[in-house]
Amino acid sequence: MSKVPFTTKEKLEEIIKEIPTPFHIYDEKGIRETARKLYDAFSWNKGFREYFAVKATPNPYLMEILKEEGCGFDCSSYTELMLSDKVGAKQHDIMFSSNATPDEDFKLAYKLGAIINLDDFTHIDVLDKLTGIPETICCRYNPGGEFKTSEKGNVMDTPKDAKYGMTHEQIIEAYKILKEKGAKHFGMHAFLASNTLTNEYYPVLAGILFRTAVEIKEKTGVQLSFINLSGGVGVPYKPDQPANDIKVIGEGVRKAYEEILVPAGMGDVAIFTELGRYMLAPNGALVAKAIREKHIYKEYIGLDACAANLMRPAIYGAYHHITVMGKENQPCDHKYDITGGLCENCDKFAVDRMLPKIDIGDIIYIHDTGAHGFSMGYNYNGKLRSAEVLLKEDGSFKLIRRAETPKDYFATFDFSDKYSFSK
């Protein structure tokens, strides 16, 4: 399988005339198609809803597109709640899933009418004292142990090592207490693995949650209104990796639903997801230019982008495919380290990558940065966050976030009377 950019060299050259590199670019057509495929895969469930994980790509223009496609928003912080509110998400359009949650975050989530997903048993008393328990409430479940499917290579962490969620005993007790405190509608949420490349992950997770839901009903009398499978459905960052089939995944969840929930009289439970990476990663790219070359013990190509624009390769050693625009059909007969300009040796987008010969000025397209790309940016070395561009369905483009300027960087200093940075 080859990886093909969702735009052309000619279009990027047109954009670059107005918006200098580096910038993240997003494909509206691809975003809409992904959302529609997801909803089709779960159309068997009357209450199905996707709650896009805002942390993956917190841009209101992209959120508006997803909102138009029927998505709600999963938030994990005060500012993400504010952003969801600004794009018109109302009450149960918002899911609030947080941990070590500050008081003010809980208060705002309650004020907005968001569905609050309690990460810990102790949060019941915290929320009750701050705002009272809302009529609709959710609890995050951590079954402990290890999570495995029959396929290999799809588990990032074992649940027992994760900081998230309640134990089995705690979540049973939690529903009893929440019911006593006046809650009327209940949900359950769990996240057990990251970026899985297997169609089994969601169905196996669903089986665990569905059986737990039946047990909760039997032991507490609480019948869940919704079960949130969270995220974890991954994307193939490497060309030789298989892509998930969302239709097959949805059918696997349906089978578990009909085998476990329906016989227990729970055939009206809504299924929720909160996919960030799956929804946006392949529909975004980081566009940069080759600006320097270096010939020492290895061959280096330096970009005008760096880890401050895309930190996943630097902190995880994550693979992102690279296309040299206009040279897609040339032989990959040159070995390069593709680097940024940070004062850190880990600031490399690729190590020993075979690519076509790269010349200064070439446009470098780094694939699959639509999620956890711009959002993880930072200002180390005084680097400024890049622009974001939307490639619209009609072929036009729109600047949806301008690049930072030095003035932005210095704006939070508290001595503007002494120092002035006007540029």
Catalytic residues: 343
What single DSSP character describes residue 346?
Answer: T
Selection from 397, 408, 374, 390 nearest residue 305 by Cα: 374
Residues paired with residue 391 on neighbouring β-strands, in sequence order:
27, 397
Can you tell me which residue has the tokens 């290999």? 152
Helix axis angle, 103-112 relative to 78-86, nearest 10°?
A: 20
Residues paired with residue 23 on neighbouring β-strands, in sequence order:
287, 387
> Which are the contacts of 164, defined by CB distance < 8 A and separation ≥ 6?
99, 119, 140, 142, 191
Four-residue CA torsion sign, 117, 122, 127, 130: negative
Selection from 172, 49, 203 nearest residue 115 by Cα: 49
- Contact between 313 and 348 (Cβ < 8 Å): yes
Please classify residue 278 by burial: count the beta carbons closer than 10 Å to its beta carbon, then call 0-12 exposed, 13-18 middle and 19+ buried: buried
Selection from 36, 73, 72, 44 nearest residue 268 by Cα: 44
